[in-house]
Amino acid sequence: MFILSDERPADGAAIERLLDKCFGCDRHGKRSYAYRRDRGPVDGLSVSARAREQGTLLGNIRFWPALLDGEEVLLLGPLAVDPDHQGEGIGRALIAEGLKRARARGYGLVLLVGDPAYYGRFGFEPAAPHDIFMPGEDPARLQLREIRPGYLGRLRGDLRPADP
């Protein structure tokens, strides 16, 4: 059993260990990390999953700001769940909570780099047919989900890092 709560400053080291475990220590070389360099995640959208009894960290989700056609949009990730607890619904719960918070803060569009087979079930679709790309990233892995109806409109082009 797990509970969700705001990420706490004290989660920091455990989150780094979890990300190394899930994505490898060379993860900082990934294209999406260029969007995270020199800036922090969006306040209020970072959520941790913890074991109900012991309080140990089981999963985490964060969102970073990015620019599309001059508009601030969200880049979801990293999302990671402890390998010993995958398949228990933690990833699903973190995504649902993160998107709920993002919507409540007025964001209209969420993008991510990930496996379409996983994210398709949460309403994400390929970004390339909308003429939206992340330079240097495989277009098939960039997914998007509109969270405010009509927001996507005619937004298109390359996703750019937000100002530091």
List interacting residues with ligand COA (CB under 6 A).
Answer: 22, 79-81, 86-92, 114-115, 117-118
Compute CA 54 distance to the chain's CA centroid, rounded to the nearest angstrom: 26
Q: Which residue has the tokens 């990930």?
A: 114
Q: Quote the least distance from Cβ 40 to ligand COA, whole Å.
A: 20
CB of 21 to ligand COA, least distance (A): 9
Q: Which residues contact 105 (CB under 8 A, 6 or more apart)?
A: 42, 44, 45
Identify which of residues 32 and 108 has a Cβ nearer to ligand COA in the complex: 32
Q: In terms of residues, how long is the chain?
A: 164
**Cβ-based nearer residue to ligand COA, 66 or 90:** 90
Compute the half-sphere exposure of residue 25: CA atoms within 13 Å on the CB side of its CA. 0
CB of 131 to ligand COA, least distance (A): 23
Sign of CA dihedral 146, 110, 65, 55: positive
Which residue is closest to ligand COA by CB?
Answer: 91
30 versus 69: smaller Cβ distance to ligand COA: 30
Two structure tokens written together for 149: 């109806």
Q: Two tokens at 27?
A: 């993860």
Least CB distance from residue 81 to ligand COA, whole Å? Answer: 4
